[in-house]
Amino acid sequence: MEIYLDILFLENLVINYFILALTSKFTKSKASNLRLFLGALLGSGYVVILVLFPGLKVYYSTIAKIALSFLIVAVTFSPEKVFSFLKIIAIFYISTFIFAGAAFAFIYFGTNGGFIQSGIIYIFTGYKWPIFILVIITVGIITSIFWEMIQYKFVREELFVPLKIAFGNSIIDISALVDTGNFLHDPLTNMPVVIVEFNAIKTILPVEIREIFDLSKEDDLGSVTTIVSGSSWYKRFRLIPFNSLGKENGMLIGFKPDYIVIGENDDKKGVKDVVVGIYNKNLSKDEKYKALLGPDLVA
């Protein structure tokens, strides 16, 4: 059997890249395309070494393969915490098993499509690209389905996150819901908008802005424009159009905070380029949360 190293290398490079991209998505660990490529390059190079030097049995050992996976994760994601590293490793293995399982399934149900030896999947030339493409499509479908299930059923409680908002000399702490349907952005700056209940944030607002909501004048654009333009904080405030929250063609009064902090402990994330939109009603009937975060802010 003839093995074309360049094709074998390229195939593994592409598959490893997809595995690492999938790992990045599931763990929410950001990695640049360059890092993903370097990690994939390590895995592909290892496969070529196995083919070129079959006598070096040490490279076929379980320890060597575990060490390689640790190196790939370290190069691609550079996790700073031990727990984060182990979490990424676990998801990396799961992603690898998904790809390997899909490839094995197509080989098994096919006719002389290929074989597996020493942990390497070989696909015969006549079946190579159809199987290769089918594996990627199948993995994409499987992971999309499971991702939706996980998001909807198993991590529902994780959709609630602590949120700090700093404005002037004040900071408030509230609970926020990650709303996957919230893609509201400030039309002027294109910054994402965090929607917050007025009652939860009123203590950090200037008196003149507070009066707009206390007197329910937020829909009176003439009064709002006059009051905001006369405020010492006018450069911070925005008018944000929206078509949700039970109202079409509405307008939110928003402001740019000093910063916000999403999450806590090792998972906290500081954001400065964001706008807070003020909503003068309750967002939650059971008051479990006082703010809505878009998915792009927690990605």
Q: Where are the domains of the chain?
A: 5-155, 159-297
Task: Quote the pTM value.
Answer: 0.50
The strand pairing partners of 241, in sequence order, are 251
Round to whole Å and give the CA distance between 225 and 223.
Answer: 5
158-213 pLDDT tens trace: 578 899 999 988 999 999 988 877 788 888 889 999 999 999 999 998 888 898 89
Structure confidence at residue 201 (pLDDT): 93
91-113 pLDDT tens trace: 888 888 877 766 666 555 554 55
Round to whole Å and give the CA distance between 69 and 83.
Answer: 16
280-294 pLDDT tens trace: 888 888 888 999 998
Percentage of residues in the chain having pLDDT higher than 70 = 74
Structure confidence at residue 75 (pLDDT): 92
Alpha carbon 4 to its chain's center: 37
User: In terms of CATH architecture, what is 159-297?
Assistant: Beta Barrel (2.40)
Q: pLDDT at residue 265 above 90?
A: no
Q: What stretch of H or E contains 226?
A: helix 221-229
Q: Report yes or no: 177 and 291 within 8 Å, Cβ to Cβ.
A: yes
Task: Compare 296 and 37 and report the one with higher pLDDT.
Answer: 37
234-260 pLDDT tens trace: 888 888 887 765 556 678 889 999 999
Q: pLDDT at residue 23 above 60?
A: yes
The alpha carbon dihedral of 138, 142, 147, 149 has a sign of positive
Round to whole Å and give the CA distance between 252 and 241.
Answer: 6
- What three-state secondary structure class fits 278? strand
Q: pLDDT at residue 271 above 90?
A: yes
| Rg, the chain, Cα only | 26
Q: What is the mean pLDDT of residues 29-58?
A: 83
